[in-house]
Amino acid sequence: GEVILDKTNFYAEMGGQVGDTGCIKTKNTVIDITDTQRKADSALIVHIGQVREGEVKVGESGLFEIDSKRRFDIRAHHSSTHLLQAALQKVLGASVHQKGSMVTPSGFRFDFTYNKAMTKDEVKTVENLVNEMILKNVPIITDLMTPDEAVKQGAMALFDEKYGETVRVVSMGQGADRLSCELCGGTHARATGDIGAFRILSETAVSSGV
């Protein structure tokens, strides 16, 4: 079944990050949530799951419990995508940009622009750079601002993405210690050290130039 809301603490799948799972509890009802999606041009958040106890009634208030361990892993992997892009630009050049991603609790896929296969040495160098960034354990900070303010701060944006009057900017570190600054609506770790460690499992071409 589906529970539809316009506001929730569950993250609905967007920007490559999978939706949250967890549980909704009302006075007499328990619903196990197996996925969270967006509908009606993202205006509605749809919680997909199964009623374990009781009966769902419109208008009831409830307790929304996210699977916090799963969310922690997703946050760490999403933050890793930002560090990976920064490392790729250092090793392969500033023309490297994200073209897509899939962030899950078990890992992530990151699509980026580049016109040839990476060498084994390049892959290892990028992997080492990301782990160095993680070990710096800088804070990960989110701010809301206008797109113009974000550009002034040097924030990177996704190609072909449409942004509104206010954007969310995720910065990893500040000042001389800043490792990454991107426009992003996903969930992130509190500091890079929370990621723990990073490993590249494979590197392949998914399409021409990507």
What pLDDT shows up at residue 6? 67
pLDDT at res. 159: 53
CA proximity to 172, closest of 87, 55, 67, 59: 87
Which residues make Cβ contacts (< 8 Å) with residue 69, sequence separation at least 6? none
Which pTM value belongs to this model?
Answer: 0.92
Q: Encode pLDDT of 172-199 as tens digits.
A: 999 989 999 999 999 999 999 999 999 9
| pLDDT at residue 90, as a whole number | 97
The whole-number pLDDT of residue 160 equals 59
Give me the pLDDT at residue 164, please. 80
**Where does 59-196 show beta strands of DSSP type E?**
63-66, 98-104, 107-112, 140-145, 167-172, 180-183
Using 50 as the pLDDT threshold, list the residues of the chain that sit under it.
Answer: none
> What pLDDT does 50 receive?
95
Using an 8 Å Cβ cutoff, are 203 and 90 in contact?
no
Confidence at residue 181, expressed as pLDDT on a 0 to 100 scale = 96
Q: Which of 10, 47, 8, 51 is nearest to 29 (CA)?
A: 51
